[in-house]
Amino acid sequence: MEGSFALEYQAARLIRVLEFSFPDEQSFDLIGFSLGGRVALATACLYPRKVSSLHLTGVGCSRDAFGIVVLRAWEHLLETNNMSGFGWSALSASYSSSFLLRNVDQLPSWVEQLEAEFPNRASVSALHRLIVDTCDRDGDEYTVAEMALRLDSSIPVTLVVGGQDCLAPPSSVQQLAFILLHRRQNETSSSSVKSTTILHTGHAVPIEQRSTWCRTIL
């Protein structure tokens, strides 16, 4: 499956890059946001001896109706090469209303910058394939819930979510924490699972609340 964006292939690429870049390191602390968090989780499932800890932001157990509709809208917008529409949709789904209001005058330029990053149909098609390849599908062994059930319980996990996250709602992140904790209850070698909700913040916690988010890592 050459060129696939599927999580297991991204995990393999990540490990190759880490091993090449840090040849003396035996294991790594992985920090991932949104899709990056799901890649980190897949990496920990596939290469548990290479992962010392996981810090996942904006990663929920499953998507609610709003999240499903947003992803379908993104797929449609990218299929029709509508990067402007995709940009506005991504902004509205990723940030809290207060953040958008504070930056309302800058939003058009942000959308223009996004369009400039994907200047042709080939680049837009690649983004579309990334979203399609990494969406949870029924029967997929790399859904967040399935990966949580397989994750080595010796790996400590920190979960962070924005209180107004619409793409990975706090309730979905709490469900993920429950699965991880429940699996570790009867295992003597299990490590901790911590969950933090940062209030008044949307999906893009590292952007909206950078300092607070950094403190959850340190």
pTM of structure: 0.94
Could you tell me if 124 and 118 are in contact, meaning their C-beta atoms sit under 8 angstroms apart? yes
Pairwise CA distance, residues 195 & 158, whole Å: 6
| pLDDT score of 1 | 44
For 134-155, the pLDDT digits (tens) are 987 767 889 999 999 999 999 9
Asked if the model's pLDDT at residue 2 lies above 60, the reply is no
By the 8 A CB rule, do 91 and 112 touch? no
Could you tell me the strand order of the sheet in which 193-198 lies?
28-33, 51-57, 157-162, 193-198
Instruction: Check residue 167 and report its DSSP letter.
Output: S
Element (H, E) at 98: helix 97-102
Contact (Cβ atoms closer than 8 angstroms) between residue 129 and residue 1: no
Model confidence pLDDT, tens digit, residues 72-126: 999 999 999 999 999 999 999 999 999 999 999 999 999 999 999 999 999 999 9
The Cα 106–Cα 27 span in angstroms is: 41
Higher pLDDT, 180 or 135: 180
